[in-house]
Chains A and B, each alone.
Chain A
Amino acid sequence: QQQVKQSPQSLIVQKGGIPIINCAYENTAFDYFPWYQQFPGKGPALLIAIRPDVSEKKEGRFTISFNKSAKQFSLHIMDSQPGDSATYFCAACQGAQKLVFGQGTRLTINP
Protein backbone atom coordinates (compact mmCIF):
# COMPACT_ATOMS: atom_id res chain seq x y z
CA GLN A 1 0.00 0.00 0.00
CA GLN A 2 2.93 2.29 0.62
CA GLN A 3 4.66 1.51 -2.66
CA VAL A 4 5.14 3.77 -5.62
CA LYS A 5 5.96 1.89 -8.81
CA GLN A 6 8.04 3.71 -11.41
CA SER A 7 8.83 2.82 -15.01
CA PRO A 8 10.92 2.53 -17.04
CA GLN A 9 14.11 1.80 -15.11
CA SER A 10 16.20 3.41 -17.83
CA LEU A 11 15.43 5.51 -20.86
CA ILE A 12 17.52 6.79 -23.76
CA VAL A 13 16.18 9.65 -25.87
CA GLN A 14 17.64 11.81 -28.61
CA LYS A 15 18.09 15.52 -27.95
CA GLY A 16 14.82 17.34 -28.55
CA GLY A 17 12.74 14.25 -27.83
CA ILE A 18 10.10 13.97 -25.08
CA PRO A 19 10.99 11.39 -22.45
CA ILE A 20 8.03 10.18 -20.39
CA ILE A 21 8.37 8.56 -16.98
CA ASN A 22 5.39 6.89 -15.35
CA CYS A 23 4.46 6.20 -11.75
CA ALA A 24 1.59 4.38 -10.09
CA TYR A 25 0.48 4.21 -6.48
CA GLU A 26 -2.06 2.34 -4.38
CA ASN A 27 -2.51 4.43 -1.25
CA THR A 28 -5.33 6.90 -1.92
CA ALA A 29 -4.32 8.84 1.19
CA PHE A 30 -1.26 10.23 -0.62
CA ASP A 31 -1.87 13.92 -1.17
CA TYR A 32 1.34 15.31 -2.62
CA PHE A 33 3.38 14.01 -5.53
CA PRO A 34 6.83 15.52 -6.14
CA TRP A 35 9.43 14.60 -8.74
CA TYR A 36 13.10 14.74 -7.89
CA GLN A 37 16.14 14.91 -10.15
CA GLN A 38 19.46 13.48 -9.01
CA PHE A 39 22.87 13.93 -10.61
CA PRO A 40 25.79 11.63 -9.73
CA GLY A 41 27.39 12.61 -6.43
CA LYS A 42 24.54 14.91 -5.49
CA GLY A 43 21.41 14.62 -3.40
CA PRO A 44 18.00 14.66 -5.10
CA ALA A 45 16.60 18.09 -5.96
CA LEU A 46 12.92 18.93 -6.29
CA LEU A 47 11.91 19.40 -9.91
CA ILE A 48 8.16 19.86 -9.84
CA ALA A 49 5.26 18.71 -7.67
CA ILE A 50 1.49 18.32 -7.91
CA ARG A 51 -1.52 17.91 -5.62
CA PRO A 52 -4.21 15.35 -6.57
CA ASP A 53 -6.85 18.01 -7.22
CA VAL A 54 -4.93 19.15 -10.31
CA SER A 55 -4.67 17.10 -13.52
CA GLU A 56 -1.65 18.82 -15.02
CA LYS A 57 1.13 21.17 -13.98
CA LYS A 58 3.82 22.76 -16.13
CA GLU A 59 7.03 24.39 -15.06
CA GLY A 60 9.30 25.35 -17.91
CA ARG A 61 10.03 22.23 -19.97
CA PHE A 62 8.71 19.87 -17.28
CA THR A 63 5.08 18.74 -17.08
CA ILE A 64 3.34 16.44 -14.62
CA SER A 65 0.15 14.72 -15.75
CA PHE A 66 -1.98 13.29 -12.95
CA ASN A 67 -4.80 10.75 -13.25
CA LYS A 68 -6.46 10.41 -9.87
CA SER A 69 -8.94 7.70 -10.87
CA ALA A 70 -6.16 5.52 -12.31
CA LYS A 71 -3.79 6.40 -9.46
CA GLN A 72 -1.08 7.23 -11.95
CA PHE A 73 1.08 10.22 -12.69
CA SER A 74 3.81 10.93 -15.19
CA LEU A 75 6.62 13.33 -15.97
CA HIS A 76 7.17 14.70 -19.48
CA ILE A 77 10.30 16.62 -20.43
CA MET A 78 9.84 18.80 -23.50
CA ASP A 79 12.72 19.60 -25.85
CA SER A 80 15.07 17.40 -23.81
CA GLN A 81 18.74 18.37 -23.60
CA PRO A 82 21.91 16.40 -22.75
CA GLY A 83 22.02 18.35 -19.45
CA ASP A 84 18.76 16.66 -18.47
CA SER A 85 20.61 13.33 -18.24
CA ALA A 86 20.11 12.28 -14.63
CA THR A 87 18.14 9.88 -12.47
CA TYR A 88 14.54 10.89 -11.88
CA PHE A 89 12.46 9.81 -8.92
CA CYS A 90 8.75 10.15 -8.43
CA ALA A 91 7.51 10.26 -4.87
CA ALA A 92 4.33 10.44 -2.85
CA CYS A 93 3.66 11.99 0.53
CA GLN A 94 0.82 11.72 3.00
CA GLY A 95 0.21 14.55 5.39
CA ALA A 96 3.80 14.95 6.51
CA GLN A 97 7.38 14.85 5.40
CA LYS A 98 7.61 11.08 4.86
CA LEU A 99 8.33 10.68 1.15
CA VAL A 100 7.77 7.29 -0.48
CA PHE A 101 9.97 7.13 -3.58
CA GLY A 102 9.72 5.18 -6.80
CA GLN A 103 12.72 3.10 -7.84
CA GLY A 104 14.10 5.76 -10.15
CA THR A 105 14.60 6.15 -13.90
CA ARG A 106 18.05 6.68 -15.33
CA LEU A 107 17.54 9.07 -18.24
CA THR A 108 20.14 9.60 -20.94
CA ILE A 109 19.70 12.30 -23.56
CA ASN A 110 21.97 11.72 -26.54
CA PRO A 111 23.24 14.81 -28.41
Chain B
Amino acid sequence: KQEVTQIPAALSVPEGENLVLNCSFTDSAIYNLQWFRQDPGKGLTSLLLIQSSQREQTSGRLNASLDKSSGRSTLYIAASQPGDSATYLCAPLINKFYFGSGTKLNVKP
Protein backbone atom coordinates (compact mmCIF):
# COMPACT_ATOMS: atom_id res chain seq x y z
CA LYS B 1 0.00 0.00 0.00
CA GLN B 2 1.22 3.47 -0.85
CA GLU B 3 2.38 5.48 2.16
CA VAL B 4 2.55 9.24 1.75
CA THR B 5 4.40 11.46 4.20
CA GLN B 6 4.33 15.24 4.23
CA ILE B 7 6.82 17.37 6.10
CA PRO B 8 6.40 19.67 7.92
CA ALA B 9 2.97 18.96 9.38
CA ALA B 10 2.54 22.65 10.13
CA LEU B 11 4.34 25.80 9.12
CA SER B 12 3.91 29.41 10.21
CA VAL B 13 5.83 32.12 8.37
CA PRO B 14 5.70 35.86 7.87
CA GLU B 15 4.35 37.20 4.63
CA GLY B 16 6.86 37.34 1.77
CA GLU B 17 8.89 34.27 2.60
CA ASN B 18 9.65 31.55 0.08
CA LEU B 19 8.52 28.12 1.23
CA VAL B 20 9.22 24.48 0.46
CA LEU B 21 6.73 21.76 1.32
CA ASN B 22 7.97 18.19 1.12
CA CYS B 23 6.20 14.99 0.14
CA SER B 24 7.57 11.45 0.04
CA PHE B 25 5.84 8.27 -1.12
CA THR B 26 6.81 4.62 -0.96
CA ASP B 27 5.51 3.23 -4.27
CA SER B 28 7.15 4.95 -7.23
CA ALA B 29 4.90 3.26 -9.85
CA ILE B 30 2.66 6.29 -10.10
CA TYR B 31 0.81 7.74 -13.09
CA ASN B 32 1.09 11.27 -11.80
CA LEU B 33 1.16 13.34 -8.66
CA GLN B 34 -1.16 16.15 -7.76
CA TRP B 35 -0.89 18.91 -5.20
CA PHE B 36 -4.12 20.18 -3.68
CA ARG B 37 -5.09 23.00 -1.41
CA GLN B 38 -7.79 22.59 1.23
CA ASP B 39 -9.37 25.54 2.95
CA PRO B 40 -11.29 25.00 6.21
CA GLY B 41 -14.79 23.71 5.52
CA LYS B 42 -14.18 23.61 1.79
CA GLY B 43 -13.44 20.95 -0.80
CA LEU B 44 -10.09 20.41 -2.42
CA THR B 45 -8.66 22.70 -5.06
CA SER B 46 -6.19 21.26 -7.51
CA LEU B 47 -3.01 23.32 -7.72
CA LEU B 48 -0.60 21.41 -9.92
CA LEU B 49 -0.53 18.07 -11.71
CA ILE B 50 2.80 16.48 -12.63
CA GLN B 51 2.77 13.52 -14.99
CA SER B 52 5.12 10.67 -14.14
CA SER B 53 7.31 11.57 -17.14
CA GLN B 54 7.71 15.18 -16.02
CA ARG B 55 10.16 16.68 -13.56
CA GLU B 56 8.28 19.84 -12.63
CA GLN B 57 5.27 22.04 -13.21
CA THR B 58 4.81 25.75 -12.59
CA SER B 59 1.73 27.86 -12.03
CA GLY B 60 2.21 31.45 -10.99
CA ARG B 61 4.06 31.54 -7.68
CA LEU B 62 3.87 27.76 -7.34
CA ASN B 63 6.41 25.26 -8.58
CA ALA B 64 6.17 21.54 -7.99
CA SER B 65 8.95 19.08 -8.69
CA LEU B 66 8.84 15.31 -8.95
CA ASP B 67 11.62 12.78 -8.47
CA LYS B 68 9.71 9.61 -9.16
CA SER B 69 12.60 7.21 -8.67
CA SER B 70 13.29 8.45 -5.17
CA GLY B 71 9.63 8.89 -4.29
CA ARG B 72 9.75 12.61 -3.61
CA SER B 73 7.93 15.75 -4.59
CA THR B 74 8.28 19.30 -3.39
CA LEU B 75 5.97 22.26 -3.64
CA TYR B 76 7.72 25.60 -3.73
CA ILE B 77 5.71 28.73 -2.92
CA ALA B 78 7.36 32.01 -3.78
CA ALA B 79 6.66 35.28 -1.98
CA SER B 80 4.02 33.82 0.30
CA GLN B 81 0.85 35.78 1.04
CA PRO B 82 -1.75 35.52 3.83
CA GLY B 83 -4.19 34.16 1.23
CA ASP B 84 -1.92 31.15 0.83
CA SER B 85 -2.87 30.00 4.33
CA ALA B 86 -4.46 26.57 3.94
CA THR B 87 -3.63 22.89 4.19
CA TYR B 88 -1.61 21.56 1.26
CA LEU B 89 -2.04 17.93 0.29
CA CYS B 90 0.22 15.80 -1.84
CA ALA B 91 -1.47 12.93 -3.72
CA PRO B 92 0.34 10.42 -5.92
CA LEU B 93 -2.00 8.51 -8.21
CA ILE B 94 -1.81 4.82 -9.05
CA ASN B 95 -5.37 3.62 -9.63
CA LYS B 96 -6.59 6.02 -6.98
CA PHE B 97 -5.12 8.88 -5.03
CA TYR B 98 -3.23 8.26 -1.84
CA PHE B 99 -3.19 11.39 0.25
CA GLY B 100 -0.69 12.60 2.77
CA SER B 101 -1.92 14.19 5.98
CA GLY B 102 -1.00 17.57 4.63
CA THR B 103 1.02 20.58 5.64
CA LYS B 104 -0.98 23.25 7.42
CA LEU B 105 0.39 26.60 6.33
CA ASN B 106 -0.20 29.89 8.10
CA VAL B 107 1.17 33.01 6.47
CA LYS B 108 1.11 35.95 8.87
CA PRO B 109 0.52 39.47 7.58
Q: Do A and B come from one complex?
A: no
A interface residues with partner B (beta carbon < 8 Å): none
B interface residues with partner A (beta carbon < 8 Å): none
